[in-house]
Structure 1
Amino acid sequence: MRTHYCGQVNSQLIGQEVRLCGWAHRRRDHGGVIFVDLRDREGLAQIVCDPDRPEMFAAAEAVRSEFCLRVTGKVRARPEGTVNPNIASGEVEILCHAMEILNASATPPFQLDEENLSESIRLQHRVIDLRRPQMQKSMQLRYQTARAFRRFLDDAGFMDIETPMLTKSTPEGARDYLVPSRVHPGQFFALPQSPQLFKQLLMVAGFDRYYQIVKCFRDEDLRADRQPEFTQVDIEASFMAEGEIVTLMEELIRAVFREVMAVELPNPFPRLSYGEAMDRYGSDKPDLRVNLELVEVADVLKDVSFKVFAGVANSPGGRIAALRVPGGATLTRGEIDAYTQFVGIYGARGLAYIKVNDVTQLNETGLQSPIVKNLHEVALKAIVERTGAQSGDLIFFGADKSKVVNDALGALRVRIGHEKNFLNGNPWEPVWIVDFPMFDFDETERRWTACHHPFTSPKDGHLELLQSDPGRCLAKAYDLALNGSELGGGSVRIHQPEVQESVFKVLGIGDEEAQLKFGFLLDALKYGAPPHGGLAFGLDRIVAMMAGAESIRDVIAFPKTQRAQCLLTDAPNSVDEKQLRELHIRLRQKVETQVEVGKG
């Protein structure tokens, strides 16, 4: 039906006849000559309709916004002074010889170039929203990114192998989406949170390099960068050590950014241990574009008369960190109050500060703050020296449990860095975070939990710590962060059944429970399982970063809302009684709102 896409028509085609198909983006009647901007996925082309062809002109007069058209015409140069440099076809126009209305359109719910549309309206009318040029670009960017991943992995000898969508529920971590079985009454499949166990089984089966661009499902609370169903680039390889995996995955990300964005990322990426990242940045996915850093000061505050500081400094698990803001003494009281309110989101009960008016006077004259009188000179001197504070600076303090301080000051560091332009000027700052702890201790349940997942291998030399001191045991785990967001994470897996059983014991998973939940994996590991490891990249998040989108919903064709609903199809929805009977399900109570059957 067509010879070219609209956005591909250029000056090299002048004098040639072309056939274009697309939608009427805009129609303008200029005193007897009608101009139609025809749009398709590649861009716009200006169609000129003269009245000397009555049948064609009558069709053009009937055209309205979003009519689906086919146009035949001759390419010609635009008149001098009318070139549009903002579109690919801006040097030419098409003199229309024939126009066919393939389908009329109802009045769209919004104009495609309308700005500040509410997200609910956009998602309710997603088909029209996807016609908008920005969404077309985002979908093309997503395709190009997935293609770049595939090209690199194919060339590196990885095989694309599908794993099951209906699998076994292993309730560790996020909640599963459950699917009731009709033929096995009272039993359920689960949609996979990741292909983790199956890709490990593939390694045991001898497929030593696997990948898959795969949908995963988690029934969890949602944020801008989360969806109940999301896409990840899932990768696993055998006979590769931790450093080899990290190096290859780094080459992969560099290749993807080079191909898709024409961006050269650093070579090599910097690497930080988890402990160093938390100490310096309060985050295991630090934004290294921001120049500010946290400094530990608890050790010099143990004997001060300021009880808030002294109490935390002498408490196990407590942390007192300082964040120096160069030139921050000019911050207004209102700005400081706003920052105090901001850290409260992360559990901080306050935000102490010192304005450094004169760094040569370590007293209430040179240092302005309600807390200065309760800090002795030795402590003040150490704080100034460690932070590198100068006259005119401001120092913020966080004092609480380590997690609260890291979360609060880590977020404050990023906010102030971007608001006050404490940036290094680099648009992309990747960093590997390595040497994660194997376990976290859950104070509520009084038990150890896996930091990554229970199939992660301990670092060499740390195996004996599994029983003697799990809190000191480090893992062969690694995450890749970019500009403060996690792109992906992975680990070297446990390939020896006795080590896997030891980890289960630390996690409080007994032999019977382990066999019930993971028996198929434990059995497979007995048959000469090779050393293996891998990683999964979040495709949605990577594309959102490339597109500069505020939410991953802007780079997913048909996303869910933050309440896990599809406004386009009105899902989830209720089902009829017959379907429930076939699935051997009885609702415990009638509900007025929609019932989502098959969800855990």
Structure 2
Amino acid sequence: RRPQALENVKFRSKFITYTRNWFTNHDFLDVQTPLFTVSSPEGARDFLIPSRLHPGKFYALPQAPQQYKQLLMVGGIDKYFQIAPCFRDEDPRADRHACEFYQIDCEMSFVEQQDIFKVVEDYIFDAVRDLSPSKTILENRIFSMSYLEAMENYGSDKPDLRYDMKLVDVLDIFARSTNEIFSEIAKDPKNNRIKAIKVENGDNIFSKTQMKNFENYVKQFGAKGLGYFQMKEDGLKGPLNKFFTESDLQEIIDRVGLKVGDVVFFGAGEKDTVLSYMGKFRIHLASIIEGLIPENLLAFSWITDFPFFEESDITGKIDFGHNPFSMPKGGISAFDNPNKFEIMSVQYDLACNGYEILSGSIRNHDVESLVKAFEMVGRTEEEVKVKFGAMYEAFQYGVPPHGGFAIGMDRFMMILKDEDNIREVYAFPKSGKAQDLMMNAPALIDVEQLDELHIQVKEEDEN
């Protein structure tokens, strides 16, 4: 009965009605796809449903309607959408609801990336104007940058552009320092990074205790340390001064754009580690500097050209970076690159205020190229036939070029309503432990029901 909770429920209803009308008015066909389906390679654990009629076999609730919507393109429906319920068994967090979520799911035939962008941008601008008129879109446009640019400049593939504080590359300057640690790191500019981040007037904002604690903050994300300079009337001051010549200190001032009162922090080490912890540090700084983030401002940016493959954190082997059905940039010949991690996909995300609110791609509509992609992560053509039989067979008859996207509806609403937790936009949210406290779910099941399903619950080992 809280007023804000009731307002959010009403807003959700208005948002869904508006969205359905918008896409229908733009000639998209609303098609409902099955909820009882097979496991899909979306990257999370499936919710499995045992079949009573087919003992030992299981349905999976869809993590996304990916295969179905591509089959609709093969079947001649060239503009599809639905408000799709999706189910993923992954740990909840502030911007990720437990168990289920909803996405504005779309697919279009005979399109290129810019055609997709046009549809999304038109919808976003209309929705913000009509549903959240108090919000302003930064520079009244949607920015665009590559994945590599986002990581190098912001340490994140979903950068918050409402404030500046870019990461600045200073490795070449530190290469000339007399500090052996810095000079050694700088010898390998391909695999290492030395990044600076400026805080305007930071010398007057942060206490000495805060400055020391910042090092402890980044260390929890793998940093070995955090250097800094304070910009005083007579130049840069700090524990690192003794390692640089006056000309090198002046070059740091010029490159970072320092003025009296500013503070600049430095992170150095292995590339991915530095970009990760400096990106997190940037967000942390913005959260504690009062008035830095403007109210009612939405900053959107496309993130493009994601790596097609990545190294699995679990197995250490090559795996898909994003959607395995994405088109490799350059077509099938891109797979000839001996360095598989240099292969890019025609994959795109849309970031808003530090959140990913959309993901999509131009699909790989060539069956030979599709099979080749799976072979490169260790799967045979026979496995593709078994796992994705419907798509494999349908693709034999010819497939129109197509692409699509999915907007995280709940996350987008959370941003528009200025909520810090996605649960606030649900009428019946799951708890932080993925429980429905009102219905007491999940719950134990009667033995009779388990027997019908040929299931036996294994007792947990107390040891």
1:397 aligned to which of 235, 257, 266: 266
Question: Residues 584 and 151 (structure 1 numbering): CA distance in 2 closer, same or farther, change over 3 Å?
Answer: same
Instruction: Work out whether 1:579 is the aligned partner of 2:449.
Output: yes
1:340 aligned to which of 202, 215, 222: 215
Question: Residues 229 and 250 (structure 1 numbering): CA distance in 2 closer, same or farther, change over 3 Å?
Answer: same
1:244 aligned to which of 108, 115, 131: 115
Question: Residues 501 and 389 (structure 1 numbering): CA distance in 2 closer, same or farther, change over 3 Å?
Answer: same
Secondary structure of the equivalent of 1:565?
Answer: coil
Letter in 2 for 1:297: V
Secondary structure of the equivalent of 2:298?
Answer: coil
Distance in 2, matches of 1:155 and 1:284, equals 33
Larger helix percent: 2
2:341 aligned to which of 471, 481, 484: 471
Question: Residues 198 and 290 (structure 1 numbering): CA distance in 2 closer, same or farther, change over 3 Å?
Answer: same
Distance in 1, matches of 2:437 and 2:224, equals 39
Task: Give the Å deviation of 1:267.
Answer: 4.6
**Mean CA deviation greater in 193-202 or 306-315:** 306-315
Q: Would you say the 8 A contact 2:436–2:442 is kept in 1?
A: yes
Distance in 2, matches of 1:384 and 1:444, equals 42
Q: Would you say the 8 A contact 1:270–1:430 is kept in 2?
A: yes
Task: Give the Å deviation of 1:377.
Answer: 4.7
Matches within 5 A, 1:127-146: 131-146=1-16
Distance in 2, matches of 1:554 and 1:430, equals 22
Instruction: Work out whether 1:492 is the aligned partner of 2:336.
Output: no
Instruction: Return the TM-score normalized by structure 2.
Output: 0.92
2:302 aligned to which of 432, 435, 444: 432
Higher-Rg structure is 1
**Mean CA deviation greater in 385-394 or 528-537:** 385-394
Secondary structure of the equivalent of 2:297?
Answer: coil
Secondary structure of the equivalent of 2:351?
Answer: strand
Query: Percent of aligned pairs with the same residue?
Result: 39
Matches within 5 A, 1:529-540: 529-540=399-410
Q: Would you say the 8 A contact 1:225–1:551 is kept in 2?
A: yes
Instruction: Work out whether 1:407 is the aligned partner of 2:288.
Output: no
Task: Give the Å deviation of 1:423.
Answer: 4.5
2:238 aligned to which of 358, 369, 381: 369
Question: Residues 486 and 178 (structure 1 numbering): CA distance in 2 closer, same or farther, change over 3 Å?
Answer: same
Map Cα deviations across residues 405-442 of structure 1 (whole Å, 9 max, x no partner): 22222222233234323446771211111122222223
Q: Would you say the 8 A contact 1:197–1:521 is kept in 2?
A: yes
Matches within 5 A, 1:22-171: 131-171=1-41
Map Cα deviations across residues 245-264 of structure 1 (whole Å, 9 max, x no partner): 11111101111111111246
Instruction: Work out whether 1:260 is the aligned partner of 2:131.
Output: yes
Q: Would you say the 8 A contact 2:153–2:167 is kept in 1?
A: yes
Letter in 2 for 1:199: K
Partner of 1:102: none
Q: Would you say the 8 A contact 2:328–2:334 is kept in 1?
A: no
Partner of 1:353: 228
Map Cα deviations across residues 318-363 of structure 1 (whole Å, 9 max, x no partner): 22110011222232122223333332343323322111224x6xxx
Distance in 1, matches of 2:88 and 2:219, equals 28
Q: Unpaired segments of 5 or more residues in structure 2? A: none
Q: Unpaired segments of 5 or more residues in structure 1? A: 1-130, 361-365, 593-600
Secondary structure of the equivalent of 1:299?
Answer: helix
Secondary structure of the equivalent of 1:385?
Answer: helix
Task: Give the Å deviation of 1:235.
Answer: 0.6
Matches within 5 A, 1:563-578: 563-578=433-448
Question: Residues 354 and 310 (structure 1 numbering): CA distance in 2 closer, same or farther, change over 3 Å?
Answer: same
Distance in 2, matches of 1:463 and 1:563, equals 46
Distance in 2, matches of 1:567 and 1:502, equals 46
Instruction: Work out whether 1:323 is the aligned partner of 2:197.
Output: yes
Of structures 1 and 2, the one with the larger relative CO (CA 8 A, separation 6+) is: 2
Distance in 2, matches of 1:351 and 1:538, equals 36
Secondary structure of the equivalent of 1:149?
Answer: helix
Question: Residues 378 and 525 (structure 1 numbering): CA distance in 2 closer, same or farther, change over 3 Å?
Answer: farther
Distance in 2, matches of 1:350 and 1:521, equals 50
Q: Would you say the 8 A contact 2:145–2:301 is kept in 1?
A: yes
Question: Residues 569 and 424 (structure 1 numbering): CA distance in 2 closer, same or farther, change over 3 Å?
Answer: closer
Distance in 2, matches of 1:558 and 1:423, equals 31
Q: Would you say the 8 A contact 2:136–2:297 is kept in 1?
A: no
Distance in 2, matches of 1:582 and 1:440, equals 43
Task: Give the Å deviation of 1:170.
Answer: 3.0
Letter in 2 for 1:571: A
Secondary structure of the equivalent of 2:333?
Answer: coil
Partner of 2:65: 195
Secondary structure of the equivalent of 2:310?
Answer: strand
Matches within 5 A, 1:548-563: 548-563=418-433
Q: Would you say the 8 A contact 1:466–1:502 is kept in 2?
A: no
Secondary structure of the equivalent of 2:162?
Answer: coil
Distance in 1, matches of 2:180 and 2:440, equals 55
Distance in 2, matches of 1:215 and 1:296, equals 43
Instruction: Return the TM-score normalized by structure 1.
Output: 0.72
Secondary structure of the equivalent of 1:464?
Answer: helix
